[in-house]
Amino acid sequence: MRHRSSVVFCLFGVALLGLAACGAGDTPSTTQPTTSTSATVTTLASPSTTGGKAPVTLTLLSHDSFAGAVTDETFAAFTAETGVEVRVLAAGDAGAMVNQAVLTKDNPIADVLFGIDDTFLSRGLDEGIFTPYRSRHLEAIPDELQLDPGGRVTPIDYGDVCLNYDLAAFGAGEIPPFNLEQLLNPEFAGMLVVEDPSTSSPGLAFLLATIASFGEDGWQQYWEQLIDNGAKVVPDWNTAYYSEFSRYGGDRPIVVSYATSPVAEFLFADPPVEAAPTAVITEGCYRQIEFAGILVGTEQRVAAGLLVDYLASPEFQSTIPITWFVLPANERAEIPAEFTRHTIFPAAPLAIDPATVAANRDRWIREWSEIVLP
Amino acid sequence: MKRGRWWMAVPPALFIGWFFLYPVGELLRLSLTQPWSGRLPGGVILFTLGQALASTVLTLLVALPLTAVLSNFDFPGRSAVRAVVTVPFVMPTMVVAAAFLSLGLPASIWTILLAHAFYNLAVVVRTVGTTWSRLDRLPYDSARVLGAGRFTAFRSITLPMLKPSLLAAAAIVFLFSFTSFGVVLVLGGLKYRTIEVEIYRLAVTFLDLPAAGALAIAQLLGVGLVMAVYARAQRGAPTQLVPEMSRLRRPGRRTGLVWAVVGVTLALEVTPLVALVRRSFQGNGAGWRFLAEAGTTAVTPAQAITNSLRFASITVVTALLLGGLAAWVIAGSGRRWSRYLDLTLMLPLGTSAVTVGLGFLVALDRPVDLRTSWLIVPIAHSLIAIPFVVRVTVPALRSIRAELMEAAAVLGASPRRAWRVVELPLVARSLAVGGGFAAAVSLGEFGASTFIARPATMTIPTLLFRLLGRPGSASYSGAMAMAVILMVVTAAVMLLADRGRVGEMGAF
């Protein structure tokens, strides 16, 4: 009959809905054979399945870069030690993550927040989203990383935003620029691509580096000259790195990226290369530090403290370089040799204290736009 | 013709009320109670409206020749062309913008308009094309027999009959161009800011909620304006539709023209995609090797595909159910409040994803905390998909002659039987198109990209972004490979949707 197919279709749709509802709520590892690549997601086990006390599950709010590399192994050791499961939320980039935490501070969506960096630290602290906690690993973390004397956040990792250049673009006898002033030289005209500080974190870091270098009175003139020398500005790191950088077919051999980008270029090159194809300019780097903190209003204060401790522990910190391409804050963590072999880390990166950044960010970005935008 | 009971409007009204009006309202209330920062973001409004209008016109111009060909001629590969044309619609803007740049197009307003046409061609082809292919040929042929030239006959016969679906397509394309984010951000260089880009900067970079809220209100007013114009323009007798097969002809003499139109339009659509495919095979298939290796990505591509399909199927069912109910009520004439329901259901299409995402965060914690649940994703997708279903189904419903339903009643059919045996098959094709759009919206992750997502429920676009987020040629090629996977999955789903004939009747 003609209308039977419509009945079948409806039933099929309802069945799909039911299947999908069951399936999407489960973790992938329960519906497929366990593989080491399945991401770690654990839902709160109901008391009936555990036959007694429900295990504690902590929610960790982070940004896409962190959450995207989380696998079953990431917190397996932590769960084995403490019996606490960790559920990771990815909230976009660092700015979006902090804003979401601020907007939900009365009824937080997570217990621990990880990934707030120094440019957003003041916003987080001023809005009062963290409860103080002193990790026992703090003594192993250098003082210059501990930007919060109030103990509300714990430094977990740090990295540097640096100018990267394509080795292939500089032949024999051609010396690449070695500091910010050199970028103004005519022989490097039209070689630089930078990101917009209002839509890009490395872009903001580079702007802050120039402000730290040339001071409040000099940075505007520097940028005018930089633009006159043919620097190109694009909205985000992706466009700069994968569309404009000469390594990927663009025509700009100097780009604002990270100190660890050459290492990633080496490790993720296919076909494999013998040495990193790009290098960093160690002058004019800006330091970015990432922190973790316990969110106000969490119901699992003790477990959250354990998680922060784990994030700062040498055990976890040793996995940070290869997984997330930043450096561990804990001095006792091991950094793999291949990590340091393929790039040079700046000895004296620039930094501006978080409160100053918070107070002036708007004005600096506005002034920058007036100079740079046509 | 009065149709549908009032209670049919309740589920869609509840859905849009709870998952859109309440969150956005809460966010606006919150933003307006905060101290004013002094930022006045007014300049972007005119530019946004202008580029959206220009994009709509360009898209219609580019899409109509292909739509004409697909609606009038039956040629081998016709369904494949229809499926391929929908693939650009789901491609993530970052990837497409990069493809455009790699083809040497400069960042400028024309590139933005071109990219909008690239994306939204599918909307016109599927919306207008479905109606056009089911127009009765008789009036046109009669006019030609009576001496009217081809163009005169088209202008005075076909065009008025196409008006409802042309307007529906134009409204959707306008709203999509109005809220375009990635395309404007990357392809506009830094010169061009639209409301959407500004809301993102204000809300995310500066946490300036009052200014962002003011722009969000401007967006909502923009949608209201569009819908008012649309409603006014829609007045007129609805079009009568016939089964598709009676209109399609073999190209015959016109074969050359047909293939020329198909070729040129597909060239626009396919060239950027080909660039992506080539990129994924660079280095002897480095990208595919990268994906195939275990442990390189947080979820395997297979899991990402499964997640995408799961979310898509939930979205399709939700959108068809709620959108279908709403369309039934709206298509019945004589109810004032149904027009307000129609407008309200269209609002999400013209609202910034950032606004909706932040609204979810501030509002959806009581009585059940849905803020970090996986349900958020299909809910967000459905908010965009339901207006598609409504826009496509309402004209189809209105085109059903009242006499058919009355005849069924006279012959003894209960209203329910008449609905099932007469109405449903006639709008089945439109429902299939609406369902196809719902799947496309979900696969392309419209509107969910700024929401909180859990790594385990990573979909194809999300995995793509993760791979794009770090340096390394293998990861980049892997991201391109994910883009190719997305293309293939979408084309397959669209082909399936086009096959979905729900008991369509033969000649009657």
Chain A contact set for B316 (CB, 8 A): 13
Regarding the domain delimited by A160-287+346-372, which CATH topology (the fold level of the hierarchy) does it fall under? D-Maltodextrin-Binding Protein; domain 2 (3.40.190)
**What span, in angstroms and rounded, lies between the C-alpha atoms of B177 and B184?**
9
Most confident of A336-345, B111-120, B218-227: B111-120
Q: Chains A, B: CB contacts under 8 A, how many?
A: 215
CATH class label, B43-499: mainly alpha
> Tell me: the pLDDT tens digits for B251-275?
888 888 899 999 999 998 999 999 8
- Asked if pLDDT for residue A59 goes beyond 60, the answer is yes
CB distance from A319 to chain B under 8 Å? no
Query: What's the mean per-residue pLDDT of chain A?
Result: 86
pTM: 0.87
CB distance from B372 to chain A under 8 Å? yes
- Assembly ipTM: 0.86
- Give me the residues of A, 324-363, that contact B with CB < 8 A: 325, 361-362
Per-residue pLDDT at B486: 92
CB contact under 8 A, A67 and B455: yes
Closest CA to A95 of A69, A122, A74: A122
Tell me which residue has tokens 């009520």: B329
CB distance from A235 to chain B under 8 Å? yes
Tokens of B381: 């997708």
Going from N- to C-terminal start, the domains of chain B cover 43-499
Of the pLDDT bands very low, low, confident and very high (cuts 50, 70, 90), residue A31 is: very low
Query: Per-residue DSSP letters for B115-150?
Result: HHHHHHHHHHHHHHHHHHTTB-SHHHHHHHHTT--H
Which of B382, B449, B473, B475 should we substitute to test contact with A (largest number of A Cβ atoms within 10 Å)?
A: B473
Burial of A80 (0-12, 13-18, 19+ CB in 10 A): exposed
Per-residue pLDDT at A255: 97
- Asked if pLDDT for residue A313 goes beyond 50, the answer is yes
Per-residue pLDDT at B1: 58
Q: Measure in Å the smallest separation between the Cα of B226 and chain A Cα atoms.
A: 30
- Give me the residues of B, 202-241, that contact A with CB < 8 A: 203-207
The arithmetic mean of pLDDT across residues A302-331, rounded, is 95
- Give me the residues of A, 256-285, that contact B with CB < 8 A: 257-258, 261, 264-265, 267-271
Share of chain B above pLDDT 70, in %: 94
Chain A contact set for B201 (CB, 8 A): 198-199
CB distance from A154 to chain B under 8 Å? no
Per-residue pLDDT at B49: 92
Q: How big is chain B by its Cα radius of gyration, in Å?
A: 23
> Tell me: the pLDDT tens digits for B182-204?
889 888 877 788 998 889 888 88
**What span, in angstroms and rounded, lies between the C-alpha atoms of B100 and A4?**
47
- Give me the residues of A, 64-103, that contact B with CB < 8 A: 64-65, 67-71, 87-93, 95-96, 99-100, 102-103
CB distance from B186 to chain A under 8 Å? yes
The arithmetic mean of pLDDT across residues B118-144, rounded, is 89
Pick one of 3.40.190.10, 3.40.50.720, 3.40.50.300, 3.30.70.1560 as the CATH number of A54-158+289-328: 3.40.190.10
Share of chain A above pLDDT 90, in %: 70
- Asked if pLDDT for residue B230 goes beyond 50, the answer is yes
Closest CA to B115 of B194, B4, B44: B194
Going from N- to C-terminal start, the domains of chain A cover 54-158+289-328, 160-287+346-372
- Asked if pLDDT for residue A335 goes beyond 90, the answer is yes
The one-character DSSP state at B241 is B
CB distance from B460 to chain A under 8 Å? no
The arithmetic mean of pLDDT across residues B402-410, rounded, is 84
Per-residue pLDDT at B261: 92
> Tell me: the pLDDT tens digits for B334-348?
678 888 999 999 999
Per-residue pLDDT at B117: 95
CB distance from A128 to chain B under 8 Å? no
The one-character DSSP state at B19 is I
Q: Measure in Å the smallest separation between the Cα of B270 and chain A Cα atoms.
A: 20
CB crowding B470-485: b at 16 or more within 10 Å, else e: bbbbbbbbbbbbbbbb
Of the candidate ranges A44-48, A153-157, A277-281, B452-456, the one whose mean pLDDT is the lowest: A44-48
Of the pLDDT bands very low, low, confident and very high (cuts 50, 70, 90), residue A48 is: very low
Per-residue pLDDT at B446: 66
Of the pLDDT bands very low, low, confident and very high (cuts 50, 70, 90), residue B447 is: low
Of the pLDDT bands very low, low, confident and very high (cuts 50, 70, 90), residue B508 is: very low
Query: Per-residue DSSP letters for B429-464?
Result: HHHHHHHHHHHHHHHTTTT-TTS-B-GGG--HHHHH
SS3 A58: strand
